[in-house]
């Protein structure tokens, strides 16, 4: 199956699974539950769920376990977007082509949406079917580490602290490995942990792949901000430039940033070699991440 088709199939599958796990819109408190569904069920590439499925399928993990892991990681991602859009953070009006959660509802509701989605993520993982208790605990720890102060929240804190301050390449990498990379890396590890008795060496290789594509995703995001379709058409927010944030093209120059993204892709591809045919879906994602134009 081509990657586009896989991504579309994954979107349908994870959206059905999310719909089942999110509280119904008529359950009290209605406004909070409606807003949670608004934040999660809108457009979204569902890249992190796709990574859960591809890593898990490469190791023949049971589908029902992968559904739970995919939902959990997407709930954390959606919570982070809702909180990132708040006035105290990026103060954005638009997300996924429509009003941000705090604009469609209100700020207090959006804060609670994020809190409740985070709790729902861990509840979902705690109830993962078809895995041993040890694997379930490892999954909980993986997601908690990726979401916490050593991962997503830590990266966001570094990003806020860096506004207007020039960062070195090492500092920029340290920030992105946490802010964007940690959840991408966790998605792959969660998929691997759903498999029955995965080998430690295989999990390590998948983890290295995840680390490389997580950073490559951010490098490409920075490149698209200055050289993508939207930037060329004058539609890009240019928010990073306005906020004087450090970016890879600003630090390395556009061509060197592109070369860095290619090196990360190649490193990611090399770590999949022992998987042979089974790693083909993950290989396509590594290529897609640095070839995407939006």
Instruction: Enumerate binding residues for ligand GRG (CB under 6 A).
Output: 44-45, 47, 77, 80-81, 83-84, 89, 96, 152-153, 156, 179-180, 221
Taken in order 100, 294, 237, 251, the sign of the CA dihedral is: positive
**Under a CB-based contact definition with an 8 Å cutoff, are residues 289 and 220 in contact?**
yes
Compute CA distances 85 → 8, 35, 157, 269, whole Å: 26, 14, 14, 33
Least distance from C-beta 45 to ligand GRG, angstroms? 3
Determine if residue 29 is left, alpha or beta; phi over 0 gives left, psi from -120 to 50 gives alpha, anything else beta: beta
Least distance from C-beta 100 to ligand GRG, angstroms? 12
Residue, CB closest to ligand GRG: 45
Instruction: Give the residue with the Cβ less far from ligand GRG, 47 or 268.
Output: 47
Note the Cα 23 to chain centre separation in Å.
Answer: 22
Instruction: Give the residue with the Cβ less far from ligand GRG, 66 or 76.
Output: 76
Instruction: Give the residue with the Cβ less far from ligand GRG, 44 or 210.
Output: 44
Least distance from C-beta 189 to ligand GRG, angstroms? 18
Instruction: Give the residue with the Cβ less far from ligand GRG, 198 or 249.
Output: 249
Instruction: Give the residue with the Cβ less far from ligand GRG, 102 or 136.
Output: 102
Least distance from C-beta 214 to ligand GRG, angstroms? 10
* Nearest Cα residue to 264 out of 201, 222, 203: 222
**Under a CB-based contact definition with an 8 Å cutoff, are residues 174 and 158 in contact?**
yes
Q: CB under 8 Å to 1, separation ≥6 — which residues?
A: 9
Least distance from C-beta 112 to ligand GRG, angstroms? 14
* Nearest Cα residue to 269 out of 256, 249, 288: 288
Q: Whose structure tokens read 């699974």?
A: 17
Q: CB under 8 Å to 125, separation ≥6 — which residues?
A: 68, 69, 72, 136, 139, 140, 143
Instruction: Give the residue with the Cβ less far from ligand GRG, 81 or 193.
Output: 81
**Under a CB-based contact definition with an 8 Å cutoff, are residues 58 and 282 in contact?**
yes
Instruction: Give the residue with the Cβ less far from ligand GRG, 92 or 267.
Output: 92
Instruction: Give the residue with the Cβ less far from ligand GRG, 26 or 242.
Output: 242
Determine if residue 195 is left, alpha or beta; phi over 0 gives left, psi from -120 to 50 gives alpha, anything else beta: beta
Least distance from C-beta 229 to ligand GRG, angstroms? 14
Least distance from C-beta 259 to ligand GRG, angstroms? 21
Least distance from C-beta 218 to ligand GRG, angstroms? 6
Q: Is 247 helix (H, G, I), strand (E, B) or coil?
A: coil
Strand partners, 95: 98
């Amino acid at each position: 199956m081509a990657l586009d088709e896989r991504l579309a199939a994954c979107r349908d599958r994870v959206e059905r699974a999310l719909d089942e796990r999110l509280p119904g819109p008529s359950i009290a408190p209605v406004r909070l539950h409606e807003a949670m569904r608004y934040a999660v069920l809108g457009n979204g590439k569902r890249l992190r769920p796709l990574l859960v499925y591809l890593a898990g399928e490469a190791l023949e993990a049971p589908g029902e376990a992968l559904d739970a892991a995919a939902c959990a990681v997407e709930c954390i991602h959606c919570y982070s977007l809702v909180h990132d859009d708040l006035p105290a953070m990026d103060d954005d009006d638009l997300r996924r082509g429509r009003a941000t959660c705090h604009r469609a509802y209100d700020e207090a509701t959006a804060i609670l949406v994020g809190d409740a989605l985070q709790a729902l993520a861990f509840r979902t993982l705690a109830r993962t079917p078809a895995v041993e208790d040890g694997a379930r605990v490892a999954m909980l720890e993986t997601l908690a580490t990726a979401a916490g102060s050593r991962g997503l929240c830590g990266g966001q804190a570094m990003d806020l602290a860096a506004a207007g301050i020039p960062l070195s390449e090492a500092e920029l990498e340290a920030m992105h490995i946490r802010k964007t990379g940690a959840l991408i890396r966790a998605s792959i590890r969660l998929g691997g942990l759903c498999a029955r008795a995965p080998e430690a060496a295989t999990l390590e290789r998948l983890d290295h792949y995840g680390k490389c594509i997580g950073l490559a995703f951010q490098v490409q995001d920075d490149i698209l901000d200055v050289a993508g379709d939207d930037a060329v058409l004058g539609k890009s927010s240019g928010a990073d430039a306005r906020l004087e944030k450090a970016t890879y093209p600003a630090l390395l120059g556009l061509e060197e940033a592109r070369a860095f993204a290619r090196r990360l892709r190649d490193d990611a591809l090399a770590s999949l070699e022992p998987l042979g045919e089974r790693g083909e879906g993950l290989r396509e994602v590594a290529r897609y991440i640095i070839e995407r134009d939006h």
